[in-house]
Amino acid sequence: MRSVTPDDIRREHDAAIASLTSDQRHSLWRQRHARQMMNFNGLSERQNLQVLFEREAAQRNADAELLDAETREGQANDNAAPGPQSAGGARS
């Protein structure tokens, strides 16, 4: 019987981390951050997660509003494009 080595565990760990999606990685980050916050603010992990959820939602909404404003500005600029100009220049 072969014994398990620390390198075996490291390879398993690396493979598991590599298989995570971006959303899963972000969820793990939130969880870890909420636990770290407990040491500084005395709130529970669940309460800190709620704080993180609220902050992230506010940031995503602000980003979406900015993107919408930039899109509207671009559309307004496209609609304000000058029409064809006459080749004859100024008329007298």
70-90 pLDDT, tens digit per residue, is 898 888 888 776 656 555 555
Nearest CA-CA partner of 61 in 50, 72, 49, 53: 53
- Note the pLDDT of residue 90: 54
d(CA 23, CA 72): 29
pTM, rounded to two decimals: 0.66
As a whole number, mean pLDDT of residues 20-44 equals 96
Per the prediction, the chain carries an average pLDDT of 89
Containing 53, the helix (H) or strand (E) segment is helix 45-79
Which of left, alpha, beta for 44 (phi over 0: left; psi -120 to 50: alpha)? beta
